[in-house]
Amino acid sequence: MSLNQFHSTKHQSEKVQLKKDYLVVAQNASGRNLNVPIYTFTGSKPGPTVYIQSSIHGAEVQGNVVIYHLIKTLKDTEIKGKVILVPNCNPVGTNIKSGEYTLGRFDPVNGTNWNRGYFYDQQAVEQFAKTVTPEEPVEVIKQRFRAHLLASIANKLAEPWGLGLAQQLNLKLQQLAVNADYVLDLHNGPVSTRHIYVPEYAKDSARLFNIPHNIFIPNVFAGALDEATFCPWWTLHDSVKQHLGRDIQFDVEAFTLEMGSQEVINFDEGLVDAISILSYLNQKGVLLNSDFSPAEMVRLGVYLKDYKTLYTDFGGMVEYIAKPGQKVKKGEALAQVLNIDELDNSNGSRVLYAPCDLIPMLNFPSASALSGTQLFKCFTNYFEL
């Protein structure tokens, strides 16, 4: 992978060194390169590597403000190791507009979700685990495994039949993230409250972010960056344990952070989320002489199997009564739907009721809904951490 460094700049203080590069992620139909900036902070002492990206979906822009605040803070913060920040990592998606709206969730040519083309080969990981010896140091295993992952991704990029644009973009970004110990992918929902996807083995780390709603996900790969990061290490851990009886903690974590609604940015809220991330990084030993710490707050959790999507079986114009983050009891109103063809009778409006106690995390952004629309995504069977 080559970095286009035609505007490479450096910022250096006594505490940290900042380098700015550009990565070519695509070419438009005129043959011009589309680049994304890469901001790399390197501390004066060795330590973990952190990778943070935002806006893989073009309409999910709030993460860019969060990265702005992170950069401002990290310029004057002593760190250990390295922090890599890639804002607006999908310039193609950001620029796909239809009137007032950004249609940046899918590759417009191939129809692929921009966040579903990362690489993971479970069988190859299980085969690699068989090469681990009883006495091999953990750091050597990690170094070999990362080299294996990088080679596999490079081979995938060199596919002789080529790859779709979304997968090309994903793999180039994944190459940046492979060496990271902590990976954060910054997202937004349609109309949403803050929540985070947490691998089940990293459940304790949910308390290190200032995010009230936590979804715990199993070792199942569905194509996203967080899964492409933690699934290989989780599988390696389980395979080595089965093969050798060694319970190795590789200390690699990855999360998808959902920070409110898409199509809007808010600088004040961005600072809140930046402080949340800095609190996590400080607890992980990335920051030195820092007092960032997790806030005292109620944190709720749910397992992915209990994170439910509520569809409507009838179409119409929708008023969303329940708001994201609001606790709703079974039988309470979630939405009211207007039926244009029945305005003159009792079927002119219908109420959609909660099928159980739940908390909506997000809702469909439009008032116009077809039957079968995903109106809400909800916590059910939730619990306090």
pLDDT tens, the chain, 385 aa long: 444 433 455 666 667 899 999 999 999 889 999 999 999 999 999 999 999 999 999 999 999 999 999 999 999 999 999 999 999 999 999 998 888 889 889 998 889 999 999 999 999 999 999 999 999 999 999 999 999 999 999 999 999 999 999 999 999 999 999 999 999 999 999 999 999 999 999 999 999 999 999 999 999 999 999 999 999 999 999 999 999 999 999 999 999 999 999 999 999 999 999 999 999 999 999 999 999 999 999 999 999 999 999 999 889 999 999 999 999 999 999 999 999 999 999 999 999 999 999 999 999 999 999 999 999 999 999 999 9
Alpha carbons 184 and 277: distance in angstroms, whole number: 9
CB 261 within 8 A of CB 191: yes
Sequence-distant (≥ 6) Cβ neighbours of residue 250 within 8 angstroms: 138, 141, 142, 233, 236, 237
Question: What confidence score (pLDDT) does residue 282 get?
Answer: 98
Q: What's the pLDDT at 15?
A: 78
pTM (two decimals): 0.95
What local confidence, expressed as pLDDT, does residue 275 receive? 98
Q: Which residues contact 76 (CB under 8 A, 6 or more apart)?
A: 13, 15, 16
Please provide the DSSP assignment of 310-377 as one string.
EEPSS-EEEEE-SPTT--B-TTSEEEEEE-GGGTTSGGGEEEEEPSSSBEEEEE-S-SEE-TT-EEEE
Rounded CA separation 315/310 (Å): 14
Cα 114 from chain centre? 12
The reply to whether 305-384 shares the fold of 17-297 is no
pLDDT of residue 11: 61
pLDDT value, residue 3? 40
- Residue identified by tokens 């979906």 is 57
List b or e across 186-213, with b for residues whose CB sees 16 or more CB atoms inside 10 angstroms. bbbbbbbbbbbbbbebbeebbbbbbbbb
Residue 169 and residue 56: Cα distance in Å, rounded?
Answer: 9
Positive/negative CA dihedral, 101, 104, 109, 113: negative
62-74 vs 267-283: helix crossing angle, rounded to 10: 60
**Number of alpha carbons in the 13 Å side-chain half-sphere of residue 17:** 9
Decide if domain 17-297 falls under CATH 3.20.20.70.
Answer: no
Q: Give the CATH class of 305-384.
A: mainly beta
> CA 259 to CA 60: how far, in whole Å?
9
Residue 98 confidence (pLDDT): 87
Could you give the 3-state DSSP secondary structure of residue 77? coil
pLDDT for the residue numbered 16: 87
The per-residue pLDDT for 369 is 95
Kindly give, in sequence order, each residue whose CB lies less than 8 Å from that of residue 30, ignoring residues fewer than 6 positions away.
none
Closest by alpha carbon to 301, among 186, 205, 206?
206
Distance of alpha carbon 33 from alpha carbon 88, whole angstroms: 15
What is the DSSP code string of 102-168?
E--SB-TTT--BTTS-----HHHHHHHHTT--TT--HHHHHHHHHHHHHHHHHHHHT-TT---HHHH
- 27 vs 31, 33, 98, CA distance in Å? 5, 4, 21
Cα separation, 325 vs 347, in Å, equals: 30
341 contact partners, CB below 8 Å, separation of at least 6: none
What residue ranges do the domains of the chain occupy? 17-297, 305-384
CA distances to 114, 156, 301 from 161, rounded to whole Å, are 20, 10, 43
